Amino acid sequence: MAKDPSTATIRGRLAADPELRSTGNGVSVVTLRLLSSGWEKDTAGNPVDVTPTSWRCEAWRDLADHIAQTFRKGDQVIASVRPKTSTYQRDDGSTAWSTVWLIDDIGPSLQRATASIQRIQRAAGPRPAPAAQQQPADPYAAQYAAQDPNDPWN
């Protein structure tokens, strides 16, 4: 089970092509921006478009590679995400918050498109463990290190 049980589902379109990069240790990470919008009714009961909400998202390792190979700008997707919030200092000295949504799973929306599945061929037998230096830092490590070790939810 994930350390952070707070999850959300986002349905939206990719605002740009996914950006794939690698960490210094060779771990793949992809960043993307999803735009979700909807509509509401005005006072006369007519549907009115709503300003889209922008979601900064990222995924790691194999999922990052699969996203970069599969999706392009404009694709409508459904993503299961969890928040990763951090703080930083602005130039004026004030503290600001930033949230990136970590993608646990993602797929195409089939409302206006079709999809075909291409399974990944894996070698038979157990997968070799990656070298220790190739593992990225846990993005939640600092958050949970300061918590009470006797807390049953840790």
Q: How many CB atoms lie within 10 A of CB 11?
A: 14
Query: Is the pLDDT at 6 greater than 90, yes or no?
Result: no
Query: Is the pLDDT at 42 greater than 90, yes or no?
Result: no
Query: Is the pLDDT at 51 greater than 90, yes or no?
Result: no
What lies within 8 Å, CB to CB, of 10 at 6+ separation is: 34, 36, 55, 57, 78, 79, 81, 101
User: In Å, how far are 9, 55, 84, 96, 123 from 139, measured between CA atoms?
Assistant: 20, 18, 8, 18, 30
Q: What per-residue confidence (pLDDT) applies to 70?
A: 92
Q: Is the distance from CB of 100 to CB of 58 less than 8 angstroms?
A: yes
Q: What per-residue confidence (pLDDT) applies to 1?
A: 46
Name which of 71, 97, 72, 70 is nearest 83 in CA terms.
97
| Single-letter code of the amino acid located at 11 | R
What is the model's pTM?
Answer: 0.66
Query: Is the pLDDT at 60 greater than 70, yes or no?
Result: yes
User: In Å, how far are 76, 78, 150 from 34, measured between CA atoms?
Assistant: 9, 10, 38
Task: Provide, rounded to the nearest whole percent, the portion of the chain with pLDDT above 70.
Answer: 75
**Mean pLDDT, the chain, as a whole number?**
82
